[in-house]
Amino acid sequence: MRNIRQEDPVRIRGDGSSIRDFAFATDCAEGVILGLYHGTRDSFVNLASGEGHSIRTLVETMNEFIDFNYEWDTSKPAGFPRRVMDISRAREWIDYNPTTSLREGLEKTWNWLQDNADEHVNRKNYFAEA
């Protein structure tokens, strides 16, 4: 694992109990296209996974395929206990069905980062002065 800050162990705020909704970018991009195609009835739809996973599960899942040491910093707050999006409108109105599991999304993201470590150098900065 390329640990930019060379932290060993990586310190993670809180106790890992907070629940979050982790969505894979490809699923959300497909949701945007579906929203453009079907329309959203002049309202909003949430594009997310619709599933909650604890920060502990996130870290332990990453640690299954990335070798790194970590520790929980329970002196820091864990954050809001639960944030999971309601994607029922997206499912009903635009036929949105995210299919990427947490593990699959994390592995695809990690592999892309490993294969494209210098990608940021080639990106155009749209905010830089001409």
pLDDT digits (tens, 9 = 90+) for 56-110: 999 999 999 999 999 999 999 999 999 999 999 999 999 999 999 999 999 999 9
Pairing type for strands 82-83 and 70-73 reads unpaired
What was the pLDDT predicted at 130? Answer: 67
CB 57 within 8 A of CB 102: yes
User: Over 90: is that where the pLDDT of 3 sits?
Assistant: no
Residue 123: pLDDT band with limits 50, 70, 90: confident
Residue 1: pLDDT band with limits 50, 70, 90: very low
User: By C-alpha distance, which of 106, 44, 55, 43 is closest to 83?
Assistant: 55
Say how far apart CA 60 and CA 120 lie, in whole Å.
28
What was the pLDDT predicted at 129? Answer: 77
